[in-house]
Copies of this chain bind each other. A is one copy, B any other.
């Protein structure tokens, strides 16, 4: 069940300010906004900063759209961990009479779901998900493994809220490492300091924390505890609105989960390990506007230079 999460007073008031300033425009659905020119300018400037930070490892660009084959969601285990966050794509099946009946109900804003049937597509819940089966299809990994770049991919999480940092559809930029255990762990350690440095250079008040994903139900609480114990996820948090900081970047180490799931093997024929470094681009942008004010022209010149804002 995807419940509405009301934002705090500070969060709702920040959202109002963003809308009044034309940085975001409401659509009528909580957590779905249009981005204004200044917001997008900053988001893309941050995206380019990530590109520059990752350039030394020459990741291969593999840019997936927000639609994922349903079969991959079924195979990945996502529905066990996060059934409440998934979005599936349905479409019309029927003849002209059915289309006419559907239209009549829809025009009256009544229930027309009976005419809609599950397709072979779902919404992508994370930018890196489609990369693992795509990599597996190429056969065993090259020596040294692979480093991939998702670009600024749209992802969907069904969690309506009036907290502007909790969007249902947003851009996630991920750099993904696929290889043997040692390679992935070493890479993850490097990105831990690199990501922290990158976000600190934007003069955000940062906290680093071991974290867990919002797993569903009672079993989920056990999975979350296990994830924390093994330090499989860490997050970088920054103030957006209110007292509690918001996670704006995170890194997951999946061990050999995707390696086993998709039969993705290293050059030595072992199940591959995978890790990812993810930036929530809208959240970073919200943290920047929160830290430096709603007018980009008034931001500290050091931050503007770092982002190459013109």
Q: Given the complex of chains A and B, what is the CA–CA distance between A156 and B94 in angstroms?
A: 19
Q: Chain B residue with minimal CB distance to A65?
A: B169
Contact A68 B27 (CB under 8 A): yes
Task: Say which residue of B29, B34, B40, B71 sits within 8 Å of A28 (CB atoms).
Answer: B71
Q: Mark A42-60, 1 if CB is under 8 A from B, else 0.
A: 0000000000000000001
A99 contacts chain B at the CB level, 8 A cutoff: yes
Within 8 A of B (CB), among A72-93: 72-75, 79-80, 83-84, 86-93
Chain B residues near A120: list those with CB within 8 A.
29
Within 8 A of B (CB), among A209-250: 216-219
Tell me how far the C-beta of A290 lies from the nearest C-beta in chain B, rounded to whole angstroms.
20
A184 contacts chain B at the CB level, 8 A cutoff: no
Q: Chain B residue with minimal CB distance to A28?
A: B69
Task: Say which residue of B27, B83, B119 sits within 8 Å of A130 (CB atoms).
Answer: B27
Contact B90 A90 (CB under 8 A): yes
Q: Mark A109-153, 1 if CB is under 8 A from B, else 0.
A: 101110011111101000000100110000000000000000100
Q: Chain B residue with minimal CB distance to A89?
A: B87
Residues of chain A having any CB pair with chain B under 8 Å: 1-2, 25, 27-29, 32-37, 40, 60-69, 71-75, 79-80, 83-84, 86-96, 99, 102-103, 106-107, 109, 111-113, 116-121, 123, 130, 133-134, 151, 154, 156, 158, 168-170, 216-219
Chain B residues near A84: list those with CB within 8 A.
91-92, 99
Q: Chain B residue with minimal CB distance to A61?
A: B37
Chain B residues near A75: list those with CB within 8 A.
107
Contact A102 B116 (CB under 8 A): no
Chain B residues near A88: list those with CB within 8 A.
89-91, 113, 116
Q: Given the complex of chains A and B, what is the CA–CA distance between A37 and B150 in angstroms?
A: 10
Known: A91-B88, A118-B116, A216-B99. A34 touches B64 (CB 8 A): yes
Contact B99 A91 (CB under 8 A): no
Task: Say which residue of B63, B83, B91 sits within 8 Å of A86 (CB atoms).
Answer: B91
Contact A79 B65 (CB under 8 A): no
Most chain B beta carbons < 10 A, residue from A33, A61, A84, A96: A61
Q: Given the complex of chains A and B, what is the CA–CA distance between A96 and B1 in angstroms?
A: 9
Q: Given the complex of chains A and B, what is the CA–CA distance between A75 and B119 in angstroms?
A: 24
Known: A67-B168, A71-B28. A93 touches B123 (CB 8 A): no
Contact A32 B65 (CB under 8 A): yes
Chain B residues near A168: list those with CB within 8 A.
67, 121
Task: Say which residue of B35, B74, B90, B94 sits within 8 Å of A106 (CB atoms).
Answer: B74
Chain B residues near A113: list those with CB within 8 A.
88, 90, 117-118
Known: A93-B1, A96-B217. A67 touches B29 (CB 8 A): yes
Contact A25 B66 (CB under 8 A): no
Chain B residues near A40: list those with CB within 8 A.
61, 63, 151
Q: Chain B residue with minimal CB distance to A219?
A: B96
